Chains A and B, each alone.
Chain A
Amino acid sequence: MKNSDIILSTEGIGKYFYEPEKFKVLTDINFDIKKGEFVTMVGKSGSGKSTLLYLLSTMDTEYEGTLTLDGENLTKQKKERLAEIRNEKIGFVFQFHYLLPEFSSLKNVMIPALKLGKYSREEIEAKAYKTLEMLGLKDQALKNTSKLSGGQQQRVAIARALINDPKIIMGDEPTGNLDSKNTSIVFEIFKQLTAEFNQTVIAVTHDNDFAKASDRIIEMADGRIIL
């Protein structure tokens, strides 16, 4: 395997929680993820998979070990740079939608792209519409996100994660709130992104069917990778 094929790698990552008492939640995590891979992480709740995903997404910087994304060591990076990386290279879908409640669906999707500033406002708007349409939300585009159903909100959050064509899309149970029809839509989108656009997907999931259909499963237990 060539080095340039690797999008994400971890080296000896460990993490402690200090409250209510000191507790090692992740121990010696080492793995590489290749470009275009569709990886799912499974494990019982409390196994540390979500915690690991947050570390990988640079949203949690309190850990030991080394994290490399797209050839760049992220462990010692300044917070400003990490924000840029999250904006440009990482699309993150939370378990809970975490949309900005004051904005319309369309604006929520557009905001990361407006921040990035790679395209004009018109281009961004067109792209946001296209992404929402792909997720079956075209009619909801101008509605305020607080007026949408849980499943719709989750799909808007997915559209937001995709808008900047990130190198890697991370999902913390991205389909947890979705019905089977929408779950399969999202699954197909992820498949297509990895296969056709060489984007990488890492998703934490409890859905065994979802996991089985992915390229690779990382199973975790008690803060360690067991498979």
Chain B
Amino acid sequence: MKKYKHNINSEIAYTHLFTKKKQTFIAALGVTVGIAIFIFMNSLMNGFEVASIESLFKSTPHLRIYKNDALSESLVGSLDSSKINLISNPKITSESKKIINPIALLKTLKNEPEVTGVTPNVSGNVFYKNGDSEVSGRVSGVIIEEQNAMFNLQSYIVDGNYANLSGYQNGIILGVGIAEKLNLKMNDNVTVTSALGVNKLMKIVALLETGNKAIDKTLSYINLPVAQQLQKQSPSYITDIYLNINDFEKAEASIDKYKDLTGYDVEDWETANASAAAANKMRKMMAMVISLSIMLVAAFGIYNILNMTIMEKLNDIAILKAIGFSGKDIVRIFVSEAIIIGIIGILFGLILAFILINLMGNMWVGGDIGFFPIRVFPKYFGVGIIFGLVITFFAGYIPARKAAGLDPISIFRK
């Protein structure tokens, strides 16, 4: 009987869309706004999150390996009155802070597949002096190239060049807060005095500004051997090993592994920055809740506007059914209309989201953040497309299915 397959369903769908251009446009606009806001808000929140994590990792490694101060143990486990007890004098020994054979250990760590950066560190408390004025703070003895690779040091250098440190044995990269207090400029000299009374005259090769005042007022970077000399230690003296792995989220889970591997204590960034990590977790939860709410609101808006366009066509549905279109045909016609509206809306939604993100990204917030930390995350554009298609499909399908099940007469009678 059926010899020809005329594509009449799509023809009707296209005619509906093209003869009512304004209505199609408004429905598509509903989708556009929903999708754009969904993508924009997600990018906003994720950009913010990435920025705050990045600022955390300016000075904190994913994992820090160190030898904890330990009391020498008592020679007897517990006091027992039936025996004579030897009295010991528990004390932190000067050896206890030291990591033994650090060069071999660094090599072992570098060979781990997930490790992206390893660098040794000697840190100690010092006084910075210029004439009579002095500031207490902390020096970090580093291998500057490795330090830069791990913490992107160059992006916080406001004057000079971090690489100059390797050229001057007695060079120092000074926090801007210290420089300000001591009235120091580039290429000036500063006296650094360690807790052990060692004095060193250092030349400022670069100035550092992280945006965190507490760091900028205390921290300086010097060459590793100089730091060892300040501590009156040999070239094998290392207090910490900084370790970055490929996924900072896995830091906590890999603590035990590195404890076993090195035999020393391991601290992850979350423990080192408990409040920042908790804030980060909270932000993540908040972002998820907001994202879901936006999804819900956008979905509801899209559903409503498409549902309305279909309900306006209820009479046409009855007519089509009267002349022999089945419920399936009706569903096909209106679902394809919804999907076409959806595709148009999504397309413009992606463009709008892109524009909004760029506008927001050009807003200057200052501080160590600079421009607002929003960026184009392809992930959210992908999710936006899928979300839009799913919603428009159901926004077409549900009302069409409902209308398709009715007897044409029951529609005409209304």
The residues of A with any CB-CB pair to B shorter than 8 Å are: 54, 57, 59-62, 79-80, 83-88, 92, 94, 98-103, 107, 111-112, 114-121, 160
Tell me the bound Cα distance from A96 to B109 in angstroms: 85
User: Is B19 touching A60 in the complex (CB atoms < 8 A)?
Assistant: no
Contacts of A86 on B, CB cut-off 8 Å?
A: 321-324
List the 10 closest A-B pairs by CB distance, nearest first: A87-B324, A83-B326, A114-B6, A102-B19, A114-B8, A60-B409, A117-B4, A117-B2, A86-B324, A112-B323
Q: List B288-305 residues whose CB lies under 8 Å from chain A.
A: none
Contacts of B19 on A, CB cut-off 8 Å?
A: 102
User: Is A103 touching B15 in the complex (CB atoms < 8 A)?
Assistant: yes
User: Is A88 touching B4 in the complex (CB atoms < 8 A)?
Assistant: no
Query: Are A102 and B322 also in contact (CB < 8 A) when A88-B1, A114-B6 are?
Result: no
B16: interface (CB < 8 Å): yes
Question: By CB atoms of chain A within 10 A, which of B320, B322, B410, B412 has the most?
Answer: B322
Contacts of A87 on B, CB cut-off 8 Å?
A: 323-325
User: Is A118 touching B324 in the complex (CB atoms < 8 A)?
Assistant: no
Q: Find B407's partner among A62, A103, A115 (CB 8 Å cutoff).
A: A62
Contacts of B325 on A, CB cut-off 8 Å?
A: 83, 87, 115
B327: interface (CB < 8 Å): yes
User: Is B3 touching A100 in the complex (CB atoms < 8 A)?
Assistant: no
The residues of B with any CB-CB pair to A shorter than 8 Å are: 1-6, 8, 11-12, 15-16, 19-20, 315-316, 318-329, 405, 407-410, 412
Tell me the bound Cα distance from A75 to B394 in angstroms: 32
Tell me the bound Cα distance from A102 to B24 in angstroms: 14
Contacts of B11 on A, CB cut-off 8 Å?
A: 114
Question: By CB atoms of chain A within 10 A, which of B8, B327, B328, B405 has the most?
Answer: B8
Contacts of A80 on B, CB cut-off 8 Å?
A: 326-328
Tell me the bound Cα distance from A88 to B405 in angstroms: 20
Query: Are A116 and B324 also in contact (CB < 8 A) when A59-B408, A60-B409, A100-B319 are?
Result: yes
Q: Find A59's partner among B1, B8, B409 (CB 8 Å cutoff).
A: B409
Tell me the bound Cα distance from A209 to B321 in angstroms: 32
User: Is B15 touching A115 in the complex (CB atoms < 8 A)?
Assistant: no
Tell me the bound Cα distance from A98 to B322 in angstroms: 10
- How far apart are A72's CB and chain B's nearest CB, in angstroms? 14
- How far apart are B258's CB and chain A's nearest CB, in angstroms? 66
- How far apart are B245's CB and chain A's nearest CB, in angstroms? 60
Closest to B324 in A: A87
Contacts of B405 on A, CB cut-off 8 Å?
A: 79
User: Is B327 touching A115 in the complex (CB atoms < 8 A)?
Assistant: no
Tell me the bound Cα distance from A153 to B322 in angstroms: 17
Contacts of B324 on A, CB cut-off 8 Å?
A: 83-88, 112, 115-116
User: Is A121 touching B321 in the complex (CB atoms < 8 A)?
Assistant: no
Contacts of A57 on B, CB cut-off 8 Å?
A: 322
Tell me the bound Cα distance from A88 to B12 in angstroms: 19
- How far apart are A148's CB and chain B's nearest CB, in angstroms? 16
Tell me the bound Cα distance from A59 to B410 in angstroms: 9
Q: List 21 A-B contacts (CB under 8 A).
A: A59-B409, A60-B409, A61-B407, A79-B326, A79-B327, A83-B325, A83-B327, A83-B329, A85-B324, A88-B1, A94-B412, A100-B320, A102-B19, A111-B8, A114-B8, A114-B11, A115-B323, A115-B324, A115-B325, A117-B4, A118-B3
User: Is A54 touching B4 in the complex (CB atoms < 8 A)?
Assistant: no
Closest to B315 in A: A98
Contacts of B318 on A, CB cut-off 8 Å?
A: 98
Tell me the bound Cα distance from A86 to B324 in angstroms: 5
Contacts of B409 on A, CB cut-off 8 Å?
A: 54, 59-60
User: Is B407 touching A120 in the complex (CB atoms < 8 A)?
Assistant: no
User: Is B321 touching A83 in the complex (CB atoms < 8 A)?
Assistant: yes
Q: Find A98's partner among B8, B12, B319, B407 (CB 8 Å cutoff).
A: B319
Tell me the bound Cα distance from A87 to B15 in angstroms: 21
